[in-house]
Amino acid sequence: DHARTALFKTLNVQDVRESYRGAFSIIRVPGGLFARSLAALQNNPAIEHAQPNYTYRGHGFSGPPDDPLYPNQWNFEMLNVEQAWSHSTGEGVVVAVLDSGVHSGGRDGFGNRLLSGYNSFIRQEVFWHDNHWHGTHIAGTIAQETDNEIGVAGIAFDAEILPVKVLDRNLVGTTETAASGIRWATDNGADIINMSFGGDLLGDDSDLVLHEAVQYAYGHGVTLVASAGNSAEFHLFEPGVSYPAAYPEVIAVGAVTILKERAFYSNYGPDLDLVTPGGNSKVGIPQETFSAGRGTWFAAFGWDYRWKSGTSMACPHVSGTAALVKSLHPQWGPNDIKEALVETAEDLGDAGVDDEYGFGLVDAAGAVLWEIAQDE
């Protein structure tokens, strides 16, 4: 007991309690020290066995949800999202949406899962609301209120959304706003960071400040996801993946149509990791948002379910699926989550990984079951 007490003190254990009849002990350590503490316990000969206190949930949710417009969400069917919901709904995961902000209005909304956010332009934790429409649509794909008899569904509908305003009313941001937003989100509990924006840089370290922010988040166990870019139709030659998606620490996401073909606008190249539905001019991605530019900090106007297209719309499908995986495996880091996504993706285009489709089309059900499949 004395040795155990000394060890627990070294590990900054904050709480110790005994299980039924003392079969085992449950301890709590600071979140940032979890991995180090677990390794120390597992390697200590005085400890018979150490493991995380895993989460188990009843498989009570069975689809389809009762949202009346859910049958229009062809994008969810393509990714096998409904099958994934039998195993995970994103509970316990925080997804930061770095965008034009997120608005809490509308009929569908996010319940009580929309957290208080940050405005990178004024460097304050206020006025983070969307005044464009873009960020709200993105957040809806990730975690719109679901099974509430209203509108549409979200992929990880039990996850929390952390809004970070890094783009202005014209959907423009800077190195300062993006890098600050990434760092703030990391320091404020983000597990996943969605970045449906990008810029054309000259190389990996053309924007060293942004890359260092990405590395900071990645080093703190955050999974970063970004859109590949929408400029393919304007390039005579291969339109490379834009940054920050092209950074090696970030999962780069391209867009496909309802026919599982690369969308004409979707950038591609060797840095592309995955594709998901992004739609086109004929069939887009339906989600709740408001009229263009009609958002303020206190209200937004012209709410409706709008069909939008772009790699911006493809990106949150990966972030939502990553949240489903993270919820089942809270100890997994960004490499583990990416591996689950790429190893279970549906191969499109040329056999194996290729420049137009990366590792392929995300399979949400396959990703959440990946560890189970590996154990069989």
- Please give the positions annotated as active site: 99, 134, 312
To which residue do tokens 């039990």 refer? 158
In sequence order, the β-bridge partners of residue 199 are 243
To which residue do tokens 């370290």 refer? 205
Q: Give the N- to C-terminal CA distance of the chain in Å, as an integer.
A: 39
Question: Nearest CA to 155 among 247, 79, 103, 207?
Answer: 79
Side chain identity at 131, as an amino acid letter?
N
Structure-token pair, residue 336: 């583990």
Crossing angle of helices 311-328 and 334-343, in 10° steps, is 110
Q: DSSP E strands: which ranges in the chain?
A: 15-18, 25-28, 94-99, 118-119, 160-165, 192-195, 223-227, 250-256, 274-277, 285-289, 304-308
Side chain identity at 180, as an amino acid letter?
S
Residues 52 and 41: beta-carbon distance below 8 Å: no
Residues 108 and 150: beta-carbon distance below 8 Å: yes
How many other C-beta atoms can be found within 10 angstroms of the C-beta atom of residue 105? Answer: 18
Side chain identity at 117, as an amino acid letter?
G
- Answer whether the bond into residue 64 is a cis peptide, omega within 30°: yes
Question: Residue 53, exposed/middle/buried by CB under 10 A (0-12, 13-18, 19+)?
Answer: exposed
Residues 155 and 365: beta-carbon distance below 8 Å: no
Residue 308 makes CB contacts below 8 A (sequence gap 6+) with 137, 279, 284, 285, 287, 289
